[in-house]
Structures are given as structure tokens and as C-alpha cells.
Structure 1
Amino acid sequence: MLLDFTSTLHAKKSPMKTLFSIGGAGEDLSIFSNMVSSGHSRRSFIESSIEVARKFGFNGIDLDWNQLKTQKKWKIWASYSMNGGLRSIRSPRQWARPLSCSPRPCTSPWTFSSSIGRNLDWINAMCYDYHGGWETSTTGARAALFDPKSNVSTSYGLQSWITAGLPPSKLIMGLPLYGRTWQLKDPSSHDVGAPAVGVGPGSGDVLTYSMVEAFNRANNATVLYDMKTVSAYSVAGTSWIGYDDAKSTIVKIKFAQALGLPEYFFWAVNGDYN
């Protein structure tokens, strides 16, 4: 299946680059920490990654090591995973371009070191999931461009990476094509940060953008735009959905361009509407 995917693109002479992505949001942090803890295990990881990527015709490798919710865990990841792994990443970089990393959250550059700038072609900063169903007492802009009450925002995160020394040309802003949902405590109080009593409709607390659009139509939801956070949300009864619509997405892209960022990415394109 993987070979069919890459060979089809190559046959069409597509300019698209394909990356062999290692990791994922559901993986255990200790797996990667153990893997890069010694020179022998790092060498084994790199050699096997190169072998698989070459076998299936990929252009490069993506290190998708995320799901780290606290600063303490990010520091562990920086010490034992990123910096340890990057000591040997020069090897696959010799043959495979591009080489990228996908850290989350984007809001604090705890993992930055000079080796990142030297050895990675880019970083996909996951600028979303700042708030969600794990915070059931209030609604939240789960991909806020700005947050007047804290530093948990895309603007603060991206600017922090740049201030820490990462070239803007290597920083990619992530945009979500899904929303997170809450159940309001009082339907009449529905601003961003309004009191909530739990998660709302969807799988867990998640609806893809196409599902959000369908929900809004089916329930005649009120759709509102929050200028303070640059985000959209919809309300139908006690159901509250925070997401990005076309308007907020355009503003974010313009912000990224103003910072000198070269590109942006979506997670994930199959969540789009029409």
C-alpha cells in the first residue's frame, strides 16, 4: 500500500514530497527516550528508518514525537530524545530531504537547541489543542492566535521559537481542520471561556470541520467570531464548538506570512468541508 502511494506520485511526476513519519500522538514517551538513550540504539533506529524510507520510495523522514502535556516532559524529551537523536540525524539527512520534526505544543520552545537549526529542514509546529475536553469547566479556543489572559497562543509560541534562535524559514505553522466541543452550563453565557459542565457532541470532544458545518446546519446553530483569540465558535442549545473557519484561518495565514514563515500545514486535510 505504501509503495503504491509513493510510486503513483512519482509516476505522475508530482512535485509533492512524501515523508516517512515515525511516532504519533498516542505513542509512549518512554519508547523514544529509550530508543535514543545510547549510540547503539540510535544507530539501529536511523539505519532501520533509512531502510524503510528507501524501500517504500519516501523523500524524507518526519519525527512525530508529541503528546507531551507538561514542561517537565518536554525537558525530558529535549534531553533524551531530540538532542540525543539529533546527534546522529546527520546520517539520514545526507540522503533524504526533507527531514522534519512535529513538536506539540508550539507554545514554548523548550526543546530548542542549535542542533535543531542545523539538522532539520523544518519544524511543523502543532499550533492547536491548547484547550479541549480535558478542561471541562470552561470552553476554550483550542487554537487561539492570541490569548489576552495567558501565553498559551499561537502568536506567543511562534514568536518564542524565533526569539530562541530558530530561523523563521524553518518554522511551519499548523492549522486544525477540526473543532473541540463542550456542554455549556448556561446557554445564555457562551463566550470563549464560558462555564461548562463537560464535553459536547462528537467523538470524545472532537468534530472534523465538515462535521462542524453539518452540525451547524442541522441544529440551526449560531456562529460567532471571537476577535480576541481569532477563532470561531458555534452554539446550539448547550452545545458549544470551538474551531477555525475560513475567516480565522486567513487571518492566521497572514500572521504567519508577516513573521516570515514560508508555509503552513493542516491537520488533517480529510477533515475539510467539500
Structure 2
Amino acid sequence: MTAKLYNRLRALKVDNPHLKILLSLGGWNMGSQKFTKLVSSGDNMKAFATNAMKYLHDKGFDGLDIDWEFPTRRGSPDGDKQRFTELLRVLKHAFYQEHFVHRNKNLMLTVAVSANPGVVATYYEPSKISQYVDFFNVMTYDFHGGWENYTGHHSALDGPDSEPFTVKKSATAWANHGVPKSKIMIGIPFTAHTFTLKDGNHTGIGSPTIGAGRAGEITKQKGSLAYFEVCKLLQQGAEGHRLVDYHVPYLVDGDRWVGYDDEKSIEEKVQYVVNEGFGGIFVWALDLDDFSGVCGKQFPLMNKIKDTFAHLIG
């Protein structure tokens, strides 16, 4: 199955030879334990770099994305903050040496990092990391969710001073810690976050809740919905609203409160990226867009990103 997927990805380069395909290692479910073991010695890191390069070249990838969630947390000791930087240095050095000595293609190195403005300097050494990576995927989503007892939007672009988590605050925090804006990629979720309203009433942000919202018919995961499921709810008469100060929409479906991104909110996020000189956009995830056209056209969110960039920068 994995081999077939790799083949399908590589085939995309027939239509677009400039396409870069990176392999990502990590994620929330992987946790910290394996990364902590990896960075526990220089020998481990060097061996990993050697094996990673061979695998990437053998499978036709253009680089590696490290998604450690998170150094110094979830069982990771404080020293992993510095050891994570060292891992990236070892990888970048190995990639550089192989490119110039053995004339292999120059592999890219990227990192997926927390969007919490308050932990940028706690989990990471931002300006040092910046020397070794091509760009940072700042995961500007999952700001709020069913683990809380009140409604909150998980990917608001902006908000009042009392709102600690917004795209603007996250991106600014990374830039203020020495990362060039051109290396900062902003994340846009194609997934919605849902809550169960405590008393059925809602006032936008801050309404009392009693946990995550019920699962969708297709995705079957409590607390979240795909955008194509959001479209269907709106078609079936769910009550849609906009959080004007936050620049994002939400809907109410019975006792379920659903925060999501739509074409309008995505257009505003792309405009922000371009106007402020950030590097670009990444999404989570393609298969959660409306790929079958429930909303009326296929891949409306991905196309809105592409079209807005085309309009703003050509």
C-alpha cells in the first residue's frame, strides 16, 4: 500500500516537474519517546541522517519534514530543546555534504512546530533552528476544541486582546523570535472542530459546553468534521454565522457548535500572508476538502488558496 502511494505521488511530477514532495516523520500520535531516544546521542543522530538520506533518495522524495510534538513535553526532558536543534544541524550538514560531494539532489529539511505563542522559546531555539531548515510549518489550528468547557474557534485569524491564540499572534511570535518571515508557513485546516452546547444556547465564542460534538457520518471522529461534512450540514439547514472580529465562520446544528474555515476566511488568511511577507500556506488536509463537490464545486478551499495567490502575486 505504501509503495503504491509513493508511486502515485511521484507520478504527479510528470505534469509538474518542479513539484517537491517531502516525507514527514512524527505527528501527535507518535509522541516524544522515539524522538528523545533518537537525539540521546550524536551517533544516533548521524546514523539516522545516513539512513534517512538513503530512504529519501531510494523512494524519490525531495526532503524530510520533522514533526516532533513536542520537544521538552509529553515525556521529553528539558535538554531535548537543544538536542532538537542539534538533530536539525546534523541532518542539514549531512544533506549538504551529500549534495556537494556525491552530487545527489539537494534534499530539503523542514519542521512542523507549535502555534502557541507562549511556548515558541520554551520548546524551541527558533533563530538557531532557522539556520538549518528551509521553512517552518506553524500549525495554526487546534487552538480550541472539545477538551474545553466553552466554545472557541480553532483557527481564528485575529481576535480581541483577550484571545491568546490566533494566526496573527502565532506568526508574529515566530517572527519576533528571529525566524525570517519568508521561512514561516501558515497552516489552514480543512477540518472543523465541534462542541456540544451545554444548554442549547450559543453566543458565539465562550458559550458553555459539555465536551466534543458528535461525530460526522463519514469521518466518524467525535469533536471534528471534514469541510465536506460542514457543507452538507449547511445545505440541510444548519444555522450559519460569522465571527467578525475573528474573521472565521461557525454554524449551529442542534446542540452542536461547529467552527470551521470557508472560502472567505481562507481568502483573508492568504491576503494576510502576502501582505505581511510570510512564506506561504500549508493545509491539513487535502482529503478533508470538498473533493466531490457537495458545496457545488470540487476542492473549493484548495482552489481558493491557489486563486487568491494568483490574483495577489500572479
- TM, length-normalised to structure 1: 0.91
Alignment identity in percent?
27
Q: Is the 8 A contact 1:26 1:67 kept in 2?
A: no
How far apart are the structure 2 equivalents of 1:84 and 1:198? 40
Q: CA-to-partner distance for each residue in 1:49-101, whole Å, 9 max, x for gaps?
A: 11110110111111122267969969655233x21312302234313332111
How far apart are the structure 2 equivalents of 1:69 and 1:189? 37
For the pair 1:251 / 2:263, whether they are aligned, the reply is: no
Q: CA-to-partner distance for each residue in 1:8-56, whole Å, 9 max, x for gaps?
A: 1344453211002111221121210120121011011111111110110
> In structure 2, the residue corresponding to 1:119 is in which secondary structure?
coil
In the alignment, residue 42 of structure 1 is paired with which amino acid?
M
For the pair 1:89 / 2:91, whether they are aligned, the reply is: yes
Q: Is the 8 A contact 1:86 1:115 kept in 2?
A: no
Q: Of residues 129, 153, 159 in structure 2, which corresponds to 1:141?
A: 153
**Gap runs ≥5 in structure 2:** 100-105, 216-220, 291-297, 299-314
* Higher RCO, 1 vs 2 (CA within 8 Å, ≥6 residues apart): 1
**Residues 235, 13 of structure 1: CA spacing in aligned structure 2 closer, same or farther, 3 A cutoff?**
closer
RMSD: 2.2
- TM, length-normalised to structure 2: 0.80
> In structure 2, the residue corresponding to 1:109 is in which secondary structure?
helix
For the pair 1:206 / 2:209, whether they are aligned, the reply is: no
For the pair 1:132 / 2:132, whether they are aligned, the reply is: no
Q: Of residues 99, 103, 106 in structure 1, which corresponds to 2:113?
A: 103
Equivalent residues in 2 for 1:74-223 (5 A)?
A: 77-80=80-83, 82-94=84-96, 95=99, 96-107=106-117, 108-110=119-121, 111-135=124-148, 137-148=149-160, 149-202=162-215, 203-218=221-236, 220-223=237-240
> In structure 2, the residue corresponding to 1:251 is in which secondary structure?
helix
Q: Of residues 279, 282, 288 in structure 2, which corresponds to 1:271?
A: 288
Q: Is the 8 A contact 1:6 1:56 kept in 2?
A: no
**Gap runs ≥5 in structure 1:** none
> In structure 2, the residue corresponding to 1:54 is in which secondary structure?
helix
Q: How many residues are matched?
A: 271
Q: Of residues 59, 66, 75 in structure 2, which corresponds to 1:63?
A: 66
Q: Is the 8 A contact 2:135 2:185 kept in 1?
A: yes
> In structure 1, the residue corresponding to 2:257 is in which secondary structure?
strand
Q: Is the 8 A contact 1:170 1:261 kept in 2?
A: yes
Q: CA-to-partner distance for each residue in 1:135-155, whole Å, 9 max, x for gaps?
A: 1x1011111222321322211
Q: Is the 8 A contact 1:132 1:181 kept in 2?
A: yes
**Residues 189, 69 of structure 1: CA spacing in aligned structure 2 closer, same or farther, 3 A cutoff?**
farther
> In structure 1, the residue corresponding to 2:19 is in which secondary structure?
coil
